[in-house]
Amino acid sequence: MKQYFIFSILIIQILFSCSPNQKNENNESLAHVETIKDQHTRANIEEIRTTHLHLELDINFENKIIYGVARHQMSENNIDHAIFDIKGLEIIKTTVGEKEETAADFTISDDDELLGAALTVKIEPGTQFINIYYQTTENSEALDWLPAELTEGKVHPYLYTQGQAILTRSWIPLQDSPMNRITYSADITVPSELIAVMSADNPTEKNDEGKYHFMMKQKIPSYLIALAVGDLVYTSLGENCGIYSEKELEDACAYEFGDLPKMISAAEGLYGEYLWDQYDIVMLPYSFPFGGMENPRLTFANPTILAGDRSSTSVVAHELAHSWSGNLVTNATWDDFWLNEGFTVYFENRIMEEIYGKETADILATIEYQDLTASITDIGQSEFPEDTRLKLELNDRNPDEGMTDIAYVKGAFFLRTIEQSVGREKHDSFLSQYFQDHAFQSITTEIFVEDLKNKLLDPNAISFNIDEWIYQEGLPENHLKIKSQRLEKMVAIAEKSKTGKDIFSSDFKDAERNDFITQEWLTFFRTLSPETSIATMTQLDAQFKFSSDANAIVKSDWFKLSAQTHYREQSPEMQKYLIKIGRRWLIEGIYQILMDSDDAQDHHFARETFEKAKNGYHFVSRSTIEGIVKK
Ligand code: BES
Ligand code: ZN
């Protein structure tokens, strides 16, 4: 409470940074003083800010340590100390100066379990360059050091970082707030058998020295600084796009992402030029905690999206869309997270519609809607029912807790509902203008709302329940309703089965797994009740082989249903899946159902599986799953 009070009296000016070559009609309204504070940083960004960061890092796989120096170029200032965020880092020394360095004193505060510590460097007012010499530790939560066994090639180790939301501070000492935007450069040294790639301009070939130089010339928030090191090859997929992967996955990637050039054109056609020059993807190991992460110029991806039939490409559409929503226009604080994800889910669906048609787009949106209604119920009954508001209040909480279907799907439905009431043409030109006006800025929900009123709703004399959507709980009544006949058919089959009818001799007579797409199966599983008999489960598995399906999403929902129905036959398959895959959204639901079960054997199975799996999970998934199984 006390801490909250101190935070809330801190009034901070955000000086919005504009791209130098971006004409900005909003300068006036943006120059105004905002009285907001990013609760998730300990840095004094209201007094002094990094403008450019240069990293010199040595990646040591033997010790699993990164050694190096972070050289910060600072904004004009009149202050005698600069505070940086650090978490799980060992600070060796701090200096000031560019060519000639002189030692500077530093202190490290108490360690907050969530935010880490404040590293305060004493400086002369006006100091331009601050250098922090440091090394990472085993508590550097962003880092996933994988032994060779957990890679495809099984010969070389792999390392990747995951910064979002507040983990960049665990591998780089910096001001870890999305409110501040910086350019960065890096000199990275790796073992010569490996190549390093970053969210910057990238090499396409290894060199003998293992030394790589990087530059990100556009201003980005700190959570988008990212590094991956592995035995990777580059495959070009078009003029300005391609994929880094281990060579074992090269062909699979080239096929799966074959539509990438089309997606980029579709996205540009919708909301304006792609401003990051190059769009590549790096295929990480299965432990990566997300399906995809929108690191600029280089999306990080989980191999579970390699379904073999391009059925998971919406993840790529999503990460690509972030090149506008999120990376170009960024949430100023994690309470505004829906500005990143809600816009992106909306945009992702528009890209999918352009390329695969309205029926596909509606199927995807219907699945999202199913997820959303389930989440609203869950969150409504949880400790934090207020989390069903778009604008969050995550004081003293992990911003990770805002990563729910509210930001993603309620956010997208908000935009879809506005689109429905103003018409697509006006909505699209408003969004294009929004991306242009706020390019390379970090903005709040309130700035978006002002824009929405002034530039779209008022000029068209449309009234809209904005406040209800953003500041109230639940889903407003006027939300857009989407229907999909194909999914309704699956609901009907599942309902029939629930009333005891034999679906195998009618609807599923001679049916094969691939007669239905992923989303049809998800709908079918979700409609089947937890009381489905073992006999039915066995018959479904015999006919469609779900327990060994090639699609990781289908398997995730199938294993959830298996856990609910105590269909234990395939628990070896379920366990194999949970050990192999670290993508959080695919595994946490299965663990949760097992732990919610009234059968103690299920708890035992969940705990035993986690013990076997945990070393293969990234910190992000390990801590979430630990929270589930330790309860
Ligand atoms: N930026 C997110 C992942 C993220 C969010 C990481 C919050 C850390 C904190 C990424 O764009 C994302 O949403 N990934 C989804 C993709 C899906 C919605 C298509 C995922 O990983 O499943
Ligand atoms: Zn996203």
**In sequence order, what are the beta bridge partners of 551?**
none
Mean pLDDT for the stretch of residues 143-165:
98
3-state secondary structure of 261: helix
- Examine the pLDDT at 117 and tell me if it is beyond 80: yes
Q: Which amino acid is residue 165, in one-letter code?
A: A
pLDDT at 4: 37
pLDDT at 571: 82
With tokens 């409470």, the residue in question is 1
Q: Which amino acid is residue 613, in one-letter code?
A: A
**In sequence order, what are the beta bridge partners of 118?**
85
**Distance, CA 492 to ligand 1 centroid (Å)?**
32
- Examine the pLDDT at 414 and tell me if it is beyond 70: yes
Say how many C-beta atoms besides its own lie within 10 A of residue 33's C-beta.
Answer: 10
pLDDT at 34: 52
pLDDT at 211: 98
Q: Sheet harboring 211-221: ordered strands across?
A: 102-104, 89-96, 129-136, 65-74, 50-60, 181-189, 211-221
**Residue 233 exposed, middle or buried by CB count within 10 Å (0-12, 13-18, 19+):** middle
Q: Among 34-48, 198-212, 310-324, which is the least confidently predicted range?
A: 34-48
In which element (H, E) is residue 134 found? strand 129-136
In which element (H, E) is residue 608 found? helix 600-613
Q: Which amino acid is residue 151, in one-letter code?
A: T
**Distance, CA 468 to ligand 1 centroid (Å)?**
26
* DSSP state letter for 333: S
Mean pLDDT for the stretch of residues 210-219:
98
3-state secondary structure of 614: helix
Cβ of 293 less than 6 Å from ligand 1: yes
Q: Which of 293, 314, 553 to mutate to test the pocket of ligand 1 (most atoms within 8 A of CB)?
A: 293
pLDDT at 569: 72
3-state secondary structure of 12: coil
Mean pLDDT (the chain) is 94
Mean pLDDT for the stretch of residues 172-181:
98
List domains and CATH numbers for the chain.
329-471 (1.10.390.10), 504-629 (1.25.40.320)
DSSP string, 374-430: HHHHHHHTSS-GGGGSSS---TTS-GGGG-SHIIIIIHHHHHHHHHHHH-HHHHHHH
With tokens 């360095």, the residue in question is 101
- Residue 244: name the closest of 256, 255, 231 by CA: 231
Cβ of 290 less than 6 Å from ligand 1: yes
**Nearest residue by C-alpha to atom 14 in ligand 1:** 292
Share of the chain above pLDDT 70, in %: 94
pLDDT single digits (tens) 443-494: 999 999 999 999 999 999 999 999 999 999 999 999 999 999 999 999 999 9
With tokens 């395939």, the residue in question is 570
Report which ligand 1 atom has the smallest distance to the Cα of 326: 1
In which element (H, E) is residue 220 found? strand 211-221
* Start-to-end C-alpha separation, the chain: 26
Please give the torsion angle defined by the CA atoms of residues 505, 507, 513 and 516, in that order, rounded to the nearest 10 degrees: 180
Distance in angstroms (rounded) separating the CA atoms of residues 94 and 363:
55
- Examine the pLDDT at 296 and tell me if it is beyond 50: yes
**Distance, CA 257 to ligand 1 centroid (Å)?**
18
Model pTM greater than 0.85?
yes
Ligand nearest to the backbone CA of 403: 1
